[in-house]
Amino acid sequence: MDSWTEKSNGRSVFKFKLVAVEEEIDQPPSGISIGSPGRIIPTSVKLEVWKRDGGKCVMCGATDELHFDHIIPVAKGGTSLSADNIQLLCARHNLEKRDRIE
């Protein structure tokens, strides 16, 4: 993942670019907490979703600021272990969706 900081309206804004890699890394570096284990999406699932969705937001086709989104949220019984429940969304569409099931 590439990341950098830029100034926007006088404030620092953290930007990142998600890049798919082939290596298996399913655990965060030590000292980093990412929430409950049920939310962790295995690398193999991420790669499958990335290939299936063509590295683009499924709503608008954007290729930047992409998020792996649970179609059925974990809090509502969704799983992180199946590509059938994960999709790529740009930040705008992921924030609009929030925890709704669409």
CA distance 83 to 88: 10
pLDDT at 18 over 70: no
Domain CATH for 48: 3.40.1800
Q: What is the pTM of this model?
A: 0.64
Is 32 inside a domain boundary? Answer: no
Residue 93 burial class via C-beta count within 10 angstroms: exposed 0-12, middle 13-18, buried 19 and up? buried
pLDDT tens-digit map of 4-14: 555 556 677 66
Residues linked to residue 30 through DSSP beta bridges, in sequence order: none
Is 101 inside a domain boundary? Answer: yes
43 vs 102, higher pLDDT: 43
25 vs 17, higher pLDDT: 17
pLDDT at 51 over 80: yes
Average pLDDT over residues 23-28: 56
Secondary structure letter of residue 41 according to DSSP: P
Q: Where are the alpha helices (DSSP H) in 1-102?
A: 43-53, 91-97
- Range(s) of the domain holding residue 98: 37-102
